[in-house]
Structures are given as structure tokens and as C-alpha cells.
Chains A and B, each alone.
Chain A
Amino acid sequence: MKTSKKSKSISYAKWGYIFLIPFFTIYIIFSLIPLVSTFYNSFFENYMSGLKQIGPNFVGLENYKTILFDTELPKYAYNTLLIWILGFIPQIIVSMVLALWFTSVRLKLKFTGFFKTVIYMPNLIMAAAFSMLFWTLFSDIGPVNNLLVAMGYEPISFFQNINATRGLVGLMNFLMWFGNTTILLMAGVMGIDSSILEAAQIDGASSWKTFWNVTIPSIKPILVYVFLTSLIGGVQMFDVPQILTNGSGGPDRTSMTMIMYLNKHLFSKNYGLAGALSVILFLITAIISFIIYKNLTEKGPKEKIDSNKKISVKGGGK
């Protein structure tokens, strides 16, 4: 009896591996091989001059030297980070507030399902289309400027102004992603044991205090997850600024993100420099991913236990 049970479970495991095959095949073909070849390409001089192929010639670390010291990569990294922050700060605040409202037992908001759908909707539109829409709205003779003129203001050339261009990209990222973040945070807030919140209220904590001392520590793993995934998304920011500035990253390349810069090299089929830049971006993303992994696998449960302890100690003290 026992042995037959064992063999059954082994055969199930075999099926598990078989079902995993499609994933690994696709992963190897579309992710692993390109990844390895990117590393390989980054050591060669290899581009098209007109219809002539130059290279591939092995140049060692020359491409990395060019990317790190001869280009304005730090500037593009700064642009990327700044634009990401411009979008992320309003995003996290608005999402937090909405998540609390939607889950609040006291408010009992009506039509939350409807609102959840509406705030998620900008994310359903293609980023390129959304960007095109903003580009048309804020162009020199677009509706926004028409409105300004009609109200008696001077028209503004939004895309010739550094802050306006960066701000618009931030605004678009905010609009596209706050719905998604709200839903993630709601999941976190709903996961908090309601008895803890009730206990805090019975102890006389104000809603502000409950929020800071109970809700926030309890959803910390989710917050970290939201922060880091958004940061990875931010590092890869491309389509919105690309379309909005027509690929120029203007004015004065101040809205050029790192991936836009990468794209510039791909246009001349410069596999060497593009490869080196991709490897650098890969390392940045890998570090961030590692932090997420660490955070979710180790700190997560510990944190929960800690907060539970504190509450129980507090409760016991009274």
C-alpha cells in the first residue's frame, strides 16, 4: 500500500516537470539566449554604416569605457530617476488614500467597483497612444493652449520647457499606474486582521495614529514591493517620453531616459554600444530585483510577527 502511494506521487512530480517544459523552452529561446548574446555582443565593435557592416571586431571593454565615460549616461540616469519620482510620489499618496477609502468600514463608499474600474482604465490604453493624446493636447496650438488663450493667458510651449516636459511624463506615469497601485495596496490593507484595528480603536488611537502605527507597518512588505516594482518600471521607462518628445528627449536631452538612449543606438544597429548599455541596465535591474527577493522572502514574515508582538504587548500592558 505504502509503496504504491509513493510511486503515484512520484509520477505526479514527473507531470509537474513536463508541464514546466513549455515555460522553460520559451524562456530559453526568448530570454536566456538574447541575454547571453547581449553580453557577448557588448565586447564587439559592430554597426552599420549605410549599407556596409562595420565589424564585428573584438574590442574588449572599449564599449563600456565609451558608455561610462564618453556619454552623458549619468545625466540620462538622473532624468530617468527624477521623472520616475515625479510620477511615483503623487501615485503612492493618491493610491494610499484611495485604498484606505475603498476598504474603510466606516465610510462604506458606494459604487466602489465602478470607481475601481475607472481608475484602472488609463492603464488599459497603450502607453504610446496615451502619450500621443497628451502630445496633441499640450502641443503649441493644442486644446490646452487654446483654453489658456481663451482665459486670457499667454500660450505656453510645453515641450520647449524642461520642467513642463518632465512634469507631463511624470503626470502620465502617475495617471497610468495609480489604479494598479491602489488595487495592490487595497489587497494589503484588507489583509490586516480587523481585530488589530479594532483593538487600536478601543485603546483610543486616533485614525491618524492607527494609520501610521498599525496600517503602515502591517502593509510594509506590500509597500516595498510596490516601490521596487515601480522603480524597475521606472528604469525601463521608454514609450511615454519617446512619443511625447518625438524621440529627441528634448529640450536639451533633459527628458531622455536610459532606454531612449539605448534605442538611439539600436537605430544605427550599433550592437556593441547598445549591448554594453543593456548589460549596465541589466545589472541595475538585477540589484533591485535582488533587494525585492530578499525583502519578500526574509523580512516579510518577521515583520508581521514583530508588529503582532508589539500590539499584543501594548494590549497586555493596559
Chain B
Amino acid sequence: MKKFKKIIALTLVLIMSLSLVACGNDTNEVATPPDGSSDTSTDPTPDTIAEEGKVLNIWGWNDEFKGLYERYFEGAGKLPDGIEVKFTIVPNDDNAYQNALDEALLNQKSASDDEKIDLFLVEADYALKYVDSDYTLDIINDVGLTEEDISGQYKYTQEIVTDSKGAIKGTSWQATPGLFAYRRSIAKDVLGTDDPVEVQEALSTWDKFYDVAGNAHGKGYKMLSGYDDSYRTFSNNTSSPWIDNDGSIIIDNNIINWIEQTKEFTDKGYNNKSSLWDDQWAADQGSEGKVFGFFYSTWGINFTLLGNAVDTPLPDGVTATGDPEAFEAATTGNGVFGEYGVVEGPQNYYWGGSWLCAATESDNLDLVQEIMRTMTCDADTLTTITKDTQDFTNNIDAMEALSKDDNFASAFLGGQNHISLFAESAKGIDMSNISPYDQGLNEDMQTSFRDYFNGTVDYDTALDNFYRAAIEKYPDLKRPK
């Protein structure tokens, strides 16, 4: 009897824990060990080992850069023997990445050489926080890139990481203009066409966008998935930063426009009441989705939207350029692959982007310099990345060339050359209104006003909750007078 009890108890515990394991499909990991990068050869090249630390620590919030690095730097055989590359990945939500990074940077001086952060990634939303500190190095004067190296990059990607003294403190492999990705079948049903030129004509202003939303709703579709979908088209086109000079929060008119539009869309049933990154939002992008389109920038289309659109994830390392047959086999009939098209949409905007920063006290500066040069300045590497991943990379000439290349097309976007749209849109990006607080304030804005859109609270309460959350997160900020 006792034995029987024990067996039953054990089985129940197992079943419960199994169901829990099955529920979590989070791809983020903390402290990801490098896959096969610990290539410690018995005969290391002496001159690199003499000055360089043996461990290169890279910090990031997802494995996007890790994948690129492994393929285009390590995969290209550029990693010197005897150096181990260690990625530390902390998810971005609720400032978790920044808090972990801050702690590590504050301990940077006392950390042992192998523990010191050498390279870390930052997003546009909080780049200034690190750029305007002593924890990042000037990529020209300290790291050793030349003006010529970075001359091919989009200017705005440099402006965003330029500190108050004019030093450039970071460099990026991508530029992130935003577009509107639409479902071709739904566009055909609603507008009678799925041709990008005609769709763009129908969506070129917010008024027209609004009319199309009404028509789509009439046919049983939703124009947008959720509340935050159009957020960046407003928030990254504001006329002032989030914060004024004495630390008061400013709610820009464009943010108010977003609130008004979203409230109206919600009340009229034009959206599906989802929030960015939630399950509903992801499902809306897949085969079951009934949503007209999504505002997405470069990385979003080829990294996130593609991932959500397919029923079975594409196998690792299979690209249209690398192995066309395997790529076609993996994508044909897989979810709604090839079902999306892109247009500029009603407003020019940008969203996100990742920058590489060299950390002060790094003991691998030569290698950091080499990684930065290869991954963010080398036109050939960047062209290859774009061809392989369809991502929009940070080299004006290369992107212009691809945008005129008739052979270049995205299979995922039904054969459209999206690079030409991005290249056009990238010219209009203005990043002059960023502040170090953007990430937290954008997040709080979206979370606090969700209750207002749902009808749980009125406008003033939502605004009050926003200020409360913002000041909890940043105690040095104040409510506007």
C-alpha cells in the first residue's frame, strides 16, 4: 500500500511538471554557452594571445546577433584561435536586460579579465543611457575603427549613439525603417488588389487607412491586431523628447493621437485587442489570423513576422541563398509564407535596432574592433546578410544596389523587393527626439492605456497610472506642472 502511494504521488508530480515544461516555449535563455566556439587549439597564434584576453564576453537580449555573429564572423573563420566567446542573454521585458547589464558594468572594474564585458548590445530606446556614460568606448578613438570604415553607414544610426561631446560610441549592422506588412489575400478581398503600389495608394494617409479599416471590418476582418501595433508610427514621430530639461514628463501630441486613434479602433472593433508580443498577437500573424496588416520594421518582418507566419519553424541555417532547394521545401505551403506584402503605409517611422557598444575596460579591443568592422562596416558581409536573411543592413551603397537588383526578391513577401522600400524610408528617419528613458516610458504608456482601451478605466485614471508607473521606474522624473 505504502509503495503504491509513493508511486501514485510520484506519477502525479511527474505529470504536473511535464505539463509545465510543455507550456513554456520561451526561447530566451540566460547565460547561453557558446555552441562549439570553445575551439581551444593546442597551438595558439602567439601575437594575438599576448595582448588579448582569452574570453570575449558579449551581452544581448535575444539571440539575433548571436546567430549573425556565429555565421558571418566565427563561421567566416575570423575568430583567432584560443579565444572563447561567451554570450550572455537576458530578456528585455520590464528593463530586466538593462538592470542586469547595469550591475555588470558597475562591477566591471573589479571583475576578473575573463568576466569583464567586452561587447554589449543596446536598443535605440535606451542607447543614450549608455552612450552618455563612461562605460562605453569611442569607436573611432578608443576602439580603432576609422572614419572611412563607417562612412558607408546610414547617418542616423551614428547620430543615435553620438554622445554629448560628439564622440560616436556604438555601431550597428542594421538600419530599421518601418513599413506596413499586409496579408495579400485580405487585401484582395477588401481592396480588390494585392499589388503593393495600389495598396500603398489606398493606405497613404491616416484618413484613407481609417476608411480601409472600416471596409475590412465590414468584411469580418480586423485592420490591426492590437493596441500597440501603430504605436511606433506615432511615438517615433514626436515633436519633442519624452522628458524636458528639468525632468518633467511630456506627453507629445502624437502620443495623444495614438491614444485617440486606438480608442476609436477598439470601440469600433477594428482591432483584435491584443498587446505586442502576446499569444493573440502572434496567432494573428499566422494562418488562422484575420488581421489586415502589421506595422513592422526591418528586423520585425524577417525575424518576428516570418517566425509567426509559418506553421513549422524553418530549420536552422537554411537560407534562400545558401541552399535554395531545402529553403523551398521548408517554406512551400508552410503557414502563410509568401502571403505577406509590404508598403510604406500612412507614415514614415522607424522601430528598434540594435547597436554594438564596446565596454570600457575590455581586454579584447582588437577583436572587438574586428567584429565591429566585419559585422557593421564591411559592405560584402552586409550584402550577404541581407541576401541570406532579408534584413536591411547598414550600408547605403549596398542597399541602393540591392534595391535596383531585379534578381533580388523576398520569397516570404511573395517575391517583392522590400529593400527598395526600406532604402526609400530610411532616408526620412529622424532620431533627434530620443531620450534615455524611452524604453520604460513607452512600455508604461502601452500598459497603462490598455485599461483605458478596454474600458476598465477612464482617460484620466490611465494617465495617472502612467505617471505613477513611470516615476516608480525612474524616481528622478516628475509629473508635468
Do the beta carbons of B19 and A133 come within 8 Å of each other?
A: yes
Interface string of A139-153 (1 = CB under 8 A from B): 111100000000000
Report chain A residues within 8 Å CB of B451: 160, 250-252
CB of A268 within 8 A of chain B?
Answer: yes
List 19 interface pairs A-B (beta carbons < 8 Å), by A numbering. A50-B129, A50-B133, A50-B436, A72-B468, A113-B5, A114-B8, A117-B8, A124-B13, A132-B24, A133-B19, A139-B278, A140-B280, A141-B280, A250-B447, A251-B451, A252-B451, A264-B472, A268-B475, A273-B475
CB of A103 within 8 A of chain B?
Answer: no
Do the beta carbons of B13 and A121 come within 8 Å of each other?
A: yes
Could you list which residues of chain B lie within 8 angstroms of chain A, going by C-beta atoms? 1, 5, 8-9, 12-13, 16-17, 19-20, 23-24, 93-95, 99, 102, 105-106, 129-130, 133, 135, 273-274, 278-280, 283, 436, 447, 450-451, 454, 456-457, 461, 465, 468-469, 472-476
Do the beta carbons of A267 and B94 come within 8 Å of each other?
A: yes
Report chain B residues within 8 Å CB of A250: 447, 450-451
A95 to chain B, nearest CB (A): 20
A41 to chain B, nearest CB (A): 14
Do the beta carbons of B454 and A121 come within 8 Å of each other?
A: no
Report chain A residues within 8 Å CB of B469: 264
CB of A125 within 8 A of chain B?
Answer: yes
Contact flag A252-B279 (CB < 8 Å), given A49-B476, A51-B106, A133-B19: no
B279 to chain A, nearest CB (A): 5
Contact flag A121-B95 (CB < 8 Å), given A50-B133, A132-B20, A268-B473: no
Known A50-B129, A253-B465; further 18 A-B contacts with Cβ < 8 A: A48-B102, A49-B476, A71-B468, A113-B5, A121-B16, A125-B20, A132-B24, A133-B20, A139-B278, A140-B279, A141-B280, A141-B283, A160-B456, A162-B456, A251-B457, A252-B457, A267-B472, A270-B475
Quick one: closest B residue to A139, CB to CB? Answer: B279
Q: A51 to B99: give the CA distance in the assembly, Å.
A: 10
CB of A109 within 8 A of chain B?
Answer: no
Report chain B residues within 8 Å CB of A47: 475-476
Residue of A50, A72, A113, A246 with most partner-chain B CB within 10 A: A50
Q: A247 to B94: give the CA distance in the assembly, Å.
A: 8
Report chain A residues within 8 Å CB of B1: 113
Interface string of A33-51 (1 = CB under 8 A from B): 0000000000000011111
Tell me which of A136, A140, A142, A265 contacts B472 (CB under 8 A): A265
Q: A72 to B468: give the CA distance in the assembly, Å.
A: 9
A314 to chain B, nearest CB (A): 41
Do the beta carbons of B9 and A121 come within 8 Å of each other?
A: yes
CB of A285 within 8 A of chain B?
Answer: no
Report chain B residues within 8 Å CB of A93: none
Question: For chain A, which range describes its interface: under 10, 10 to 19, 20 to 34, or 35 or more residues?
Answer: 35 or more
Q: A160 to B133: give the CA distance in the assembly, Å.
A: 40
Do the beta carbons of B280 and A252 come within 8 Å of each other?
A: no
Report chain B residues within 8 Å CB of A61: none
Q: A52 to B1: give the CA distance in the assembly, Å.
A: 63
Do the beta carbons of B5 and A114 come within 8 Å of each other?
A: yes
* Interface pairs A-B: 4 shortest CB-CB: A50-B129, A264-B472, A251-B456, A49-B476
Report chain A residues within 8 Å CB of B472: 264-265, 267-268, 270
Do the beta carbons of B95 and A267 come within 8 Å of each other?
A: yes
Residue of A72, A129, A157, A273 with most partner-chain B CB within 10 A: A129
Report chain B residues within 8 Å CB of A50: 102, 129, 133, 436
Q: A264 to B283: give the CA distance in the assembly, Å.
A: 31
Interface string of A278-306 (1 = CB under 8 A from B): 00000000000000000000000000000
Report chain A residues within 8 Å CB of B93: 246
Q: A264 to B99: give the CA distance in the assembly, Å.
A: 13
Quick one: closest B residue to A113, CB to CB? Answer: B5
CB of A236 within 8 A of chain B?
Answer: no
Report chain B residues within 8 Å CB of A273: 475
Do the beta carbons of B20 and A157 come within 8 Å of each other?
A: no
A150 to chain B, nearest CB (A): 15
Tell me which of B12, B95, B135 contacts A51 (CB under 8 A): B135
Q: A50 to B135: give the CA distance in the assembly, Å.
A: 12
CB of A89 within 8 A of chain B?
Answer: no
B275 to chain A, nearest CB (A): 9
Q: A273 to B457: give the CA distance in the assembly, Å.
A: 27
Report chain B residues within 8 Å CB of A54: 475-476
Q: A48 to B19: give the CA distance in the assembly, Å.
A: 40
Contact flag A117-B5 (CB < 8 Å), given A129-B20, A268-B475: yes
Report chain A residues within 8 Å CB of B130: 51
Q: A49 to B437: give the CA distance in the assembly, Å.
A: 10
Chain A positions 117-138 with a Cβ under 8 Å from a chain B Cβ: 117-118, 121, 124-125, 129, 132-133, 136
